[in-house]
Chain A
Amino acid sequence: MSIVAYLDPGTGGLIASAAAAGFAGAAVVAKSKWRSATGKLRKKDDTTSTGPDGTGADSA
């Protein structure tokens, strides 16, 4: 269960909330974006290496 509970601050609101912490927040936003981007690349690599039907081990 998420602590967000009954409020949805929206993606922009959450990033703004991180930015309210100044440089520390900006660093976390950058890190999460980097992880998200590299995670998608890794996933793409995994998917393309599983064969012509695109069925990877994770999604089997």
Chain B
Amino acid sequence: MDPVRVEASSFRDPRGTVMHRGGRVLRGLDPEGAEDWRALKATRAFSQLVARGALVDTWEAPADVVAEADLGHWALVLEHEPIPVVSYPYEWTFEMLRAAAVLHLEVLLAALEEGMTLKDGYAYNVQFRGAQPVFIDLGSFTPVGEGGPWVGYRQFCQTLLYPLLLQAHLDIPFQRYLLGQLEGIPASDMRRFLSGRHAFQKGVLRHVVLHDVLSSRLTEGAEATRQDLADASDGAELSRIAAGKLLDLVRSLKSKRSTSGWADYRTTCSYSDEDTRAKEEFVDEHLARLSPGLVWDLGCNDGAFARRAARHADQVVAADSDDVVVDAFFRSLGQPGAPDNILPLVLDLTDPSPDRGWRNQERSAFLSRSRPDLILALALVHHLSIAANIPLAQVLDWFQGLDAPLLVEFVERHDPMADRLLANKPPGIHDEYRTDVFESLLEERFEVEGRTELPSGSRRLYLARPRR
């Protein structure tokens, strides 16, 4: 019998707990949580949001599922449609975070229309199914009650609005700031970032400066104030107006970051048309043969090969450390006809997302969060080995530890792209970076099932299975 595993991040709201069992995602609710669910289920907003994919599909778990999992002590158990691959805001691009913020506000506005509100405003309430954001925290919905301002506003600012302002106004990538603080960027920090002339940029005076002044000077508990404000306001009108204004602001924000070291890679790289065709043929042949469930495309750049993988795989995680190229890829996935099974992520493979939060278990490390069925490592190894100084043996040890077939490209040292990386290194430091060394290390750790040399003679591709 599969054990029930409590979701490590589901403990803050006492109304319910999310659990996993045998691939099912379940949510136990106490009597008040069950009442909130029934109120939500009765709204048109619930069915409309689920129908357009904005809200995770949810139903009351069948009695046999509840009994088998021994969850009869909950007032009610819900079941959610599973999210294929979990990701976190510090792995998203600017446009992904902006899409998550827009979705969060749209869900709030739809709820407010029918007498419900959201208890919080957390970026982690949103996940991505492919490139589509989806609101997952059903436990956040509750009847609006006496009304007044939205209690999730501070959290929304810290985890969604401020990271967006940081990048839109200051050209600072937000990911490391969100990784460092799961509760987001405090208003006081933002005020220091956005002092001087920046104070007059969109959204700063109201949502940063005023927010910080009020929060730092009025620090007592909020219940009496909430009651006063609710008495003086017209139901949830304040929440509705604030959410509408936030939505206008978030929709107007644009990232200043448009160029990066890799943004023009496709036009400046050293592949001939023949090389590109041969590489595509090799990759397509093995993708079709393996028909993998989950593919990790590491160092995905503009996602050209992630798109090829998506034709043969159930899901593709396409990761690259360059947020600008991943952002462009994300935007391209919003075009009509684009595949719906690719999750683009910003990830530095030399410093991937670690375990974070309470007991180091709330948000799991990227490398332990999912298990790939195939790894694509195309034009990646020379970056790890030469640019990041990771010995070839360690790169291959890591691949072997991932315990999945590996489709890897080795760029020889005389290739213009490898040569460019070697040009600024002291002589002798990367002497081991050679095809014969790579092949020998690869064959010690993997059974090589397929290999090819691209026509220009400076790049080789291998399909290898890890030895156990």
Q: B-contacting residues of A (Cβ < 8 Å)?
A: 1-22, 24-25, 28-29, 31-33, 35-36
CA distance A14 to B151 in the complex (A): 7
Question: In the complex, are the beta carbons of B241 and A22 less than 8 A apart?
Answer: yes
Chain B stretch 215-235: residues in CB contact (< 8 A) with chain A:
215-226, 228-229, 231-233
Bound CA–CA A31/B234 (angstroms): 12
Considering only CB atoms, which chain B residue lies closest to A25 in the complex? Answer: B238
Are the C-beta atoms of B245 and A21 separated by less than 8 Å? Answer: yes
- Pairwise interchain contact A11-B32, C-beta atoms closer than 8 A: no
| Known contacts A12-B215, A20-B245, A35-B228: A7-B151 contact under CB 8 Å | yes
Q: What is the CA–CA distance of A35 and B232 in the complex, to the nearest angstrom?
A: 8
Q: Which residues of B contact A17 (CB under 8 A)?
A: 149-151, 153-154, 238, 242
A12–B353 alpha-carbon span in the complex (Å): 34
The main secondary structure of chain A at its interface with chain B is helix
User: Which residues in B have their C-beta under 8 angstroms from that of A20?
Assistant: 149-150, 153, 206-207, 242, 245-246
Which residues on the A side are within 8 Å of B154 (C-beta)? 9-10, 13, 16-17
* 18 residue pairs bridging A and B, Cβ less than 8 Å apart: A5-B119, A6-B14, A6-B119, A8-B222, A8-B223, A9-B153, A11-B224, A13-B214, A13-B215, A15-B225, A16-B215, A17-B150, A17-B238, A19-B210, A20-B149, A24-B241, A32-B233, A35-B231
Task: Apart from A5-B13, A11-B220, list 17 A-B contacts with CB within 8 A.
Answer: A5-B15, A5-B119, A6-B12, A8-B221, A9-B222, A10-B219, A13-B153, A14-B151, A15-B218, A16-B210, A16-B211, A20-B149, A20-B245, A22-B241, A24-B238, A32-B231, A35-B232
- Find chain A residues with CB under 8 A from B206 CB: 19-20, 22
Q: Which residues of B contact A10 (CB under 8 A)?
A: 154, 215, 218-222
In the complex, what residue of chain A is closest to B249 when comparing beta carbons? A20
Expressed in whole angstroms, the Cα–Cα distance for A14 and B232 within the complex equals: 13
- Minimum CB distance partner of B146 in chain A: A3
8 Å CB interface, B121-147 against A: 142-146
Q: Which of B20-49 contact A (CB under 8 A)?
A: 32
Secondary structure at chain B's binding surface: helix, strand, loop or mixed?
helix
Measured between alpha carbons, how far is A7 from B117 in the docked complex, in Å?
A: 14
Judge if B237 is at the interface, Cβ distance under 8 Å.
Answer: yes
A11 to B238, CA, bound (A): 16
A4 and B214 CA atoms in complex are apart in Å by: 19
In the complex, whether B155 has a CB less than 8 A from a CB of chain A is yes
A29 CA to B228 CA, complexed, in Å: 9
Kindly provide the distance from the CB of B188 to the nearest chain A CB, expressed in whole angstroms.
11
Distance of A25 Cα from B14 Cα, bound (Å): 30
* B120: Cβ under 8 A from any A Cβ: yes
Which of A3, A7, A22, A33 is close to B245, meaning CB atoms less than 8 Å apart? A22
Q: How far is the CB of B253 from chain A (nearest CB, A)?
A: 16
Distance between B423 CB and nearest chain A CB, rounded to angstroms: 52
Query: Is B455's CB within 8 Å of the partner chain A?
Result: no
Q: Which residues of B contact A14 (CB under 8 A)?
A: 148-149, 151, 222, 225-226, 229
A-B CB proximity, top 8 nearest: A12-B218, A17-B153, A17-B149, A32-B232, A12-B214, A12-B215, A21-B241, A20-B242
